[in-house]
Amino acid sequence: MTDTTPKPRIALMGEFSAGKSTLTNLLLGSRPLPVRVTATRLPPVWISYGAERAEVVAPDGSTAEIALDALDSVPLEQARRINLFLPCEALELCDLIDMPGISDPNMPADVWQAVLPEVDSVIWCTPATQAWRQSEAAFWSILAPELRAPGVLLVTHFDKLTSERDGARVLRRVTREAGEAFGAVFPIALPLALSAGEDMDAWKTSGADQFVEHLIDLLLHWEDRSRPRAVASDPDAPADAPQGLAELSPAPNLVRKRLHTIECASSEIPAGASPQSDDATLRVQPRRVRPVPQAKSPRPRRARLERNAK
């Protein structure tokens, strides 16, 4: 990416209580977003690089400043989305959009449909205990063709599986049913990743290491791996959802399989674990999140990343 190239806009999506806000906090290296069940009525939260502040975008496009600790008090009826700005290193490479759960019965579809035309790629969270439901597959088949780059399927709550055998079985099924529709699939135990701190073994066991490395690699080589953005749009302007999403009619899936590492290793690793690479240059380890409210970003210095990517 050059200084004049728009940063990729990556949405975190999934069904109700799939771990999206927890994942957002992991990527940011802090905990600005509420993760309680009662906080799921938040509108889309658009997170960009900048001095720490937040604002609510009203349905008419007007904005009003709001305290970060008051995000979960924003009335859904009065907000099209929340703009959140943080001086986080990860946000130098992309914008993150924490989306409402698509299965939340209290969340009108137009709340997230209005943001979808602005999304370049998606990290889709599916809980391991109910991985890749039919409703998710139906939604993804419609959304995938609209994206500029293949999405990532993240199998969350992997720590809730009771055995290595269960973990291997879930990964095999997800690979078989969803593998061709995503650029990569990773199992992850988000609570373990959040609490890992500087414990490298815990960080790797959580599955976060390979996922974060893949995401960093994608962002550093974004121009080579994505389709051109059709129209440079203003993120503050209302946008219509793609016709397919509005009608919820089937559409072709993306085809890009990259799952051999996960599947081959799944029978050898414990539930929640992630296979390790022998190539040290592929082990770009971000700074993990310490279990405190204001930890540092999990991404390494950009210059170091660029050296490893060459």
Give the Å distances, CA to CA, from 304 to 221, 224, 292, 300: 15, 20, 26, 7
pLDDT at 267 (0 to 100): 32
Closest to 214 in 3D by CA, of 182, 252, 181:
182
DSSP 33: S
Contacts of 275 (CB under 8 A, 6+ apart): 210, 261, 262, 264, 265, 268, 269
pLDDT at 281 (0 to 100): 28
Give the Å distances, CA to CA, from 287 to 31, 70, 148, 187, 211: 15, 27, 28, 20, 14
What's phi and psi for 55, nearest 5 deg?
-145, 150
pLDDT at 294 (0 to 100): 41
- Full pLDDT tens readout for the chain, 310 residues: 556 678 999 999 999 889 998 898 899 987 667 665 434 578 899 999 999 999 999 999 999 999 988 888 888 788 999 999 999 999 999 999 999 888 777 777 787 788 999 999 999 999 999 999 999 999 999 999 999 999 999 999 999 999 999 999 999 999 999 999 999 999 999 999 999 989 999 999 999 999 999 999 999 999 887 877 554 344 454 444 445 544 433 322 322 222 233 332 333 333 444 333 333 322 333 434 434 344 444 444 444 444 444 4
pLDDT at 180 (0 to 100): 93
Where do the domains of the chain lie, and which CATH numbers do they carry?
A: 9-309 (3.40.50.300)
Rounded Cα distance, 196 and 46, in Å: 26
pLDDT at 3 (0 to 100): 61
Per-residue buried b or exposed e for 11-49, using 16+ beta carbons within 10 Å of the residue's own CB: bbbbbbbbbbbbbbbbbbbbbbbbbeeeebbbbbbbbbb
Closest to 149 in 3D by CA, of 254, 55, 231, 280:
254
Rounded Cα distance, 147 and 120, in Å: 5
Give the neighbor-by-neighbor strand order of the sheet with 53-57.
63-66, 53-57, 81-86, 45-49, 95-98, 9-14, 121-127, 152-156, 184-187
Which helix H or strand E contains 86, and what residues bound it?
Answer: strand 81-86
**Chain-centre distance for alpha carbon 89:** 16
Closest to 153 in 3D by CA, of 133, 173, 123:
123
CB 15 within 8 A of CB 21: no
Rounded Cα distance, 77 and 21, in Å: 20
pLDDT at 38 (0 to 100): 39
Q: What is the pLDDT of the chain when averaged over all its residues?
A: 76
Residue with tokens 């593998």: 179
pLDDT at 296 (0 to 100): 44
The predicted-structure confidence for 141-178, as pLDDT tens digits, reads as follows: 999 999 999 999 999 999 999 999 999 999 999 999 99
Kindly give the residue spans of alpha helices, DSSP state H, lying in the chain.
20-28, 109-113, 134-143, 164-178, 190-195, 200-205, 208-220, 222-225, 243-247, 260-265, 302-309
Give the Å distances, CA to CA, from 82 to 16, 17, 110, 127, 151: 19, 19, 15, 25, 23
Closest to 124 in 3D by CA, of 106, 146, 139, 105:
139
Rounded Cα distance, 149 and 18, in Å: 22
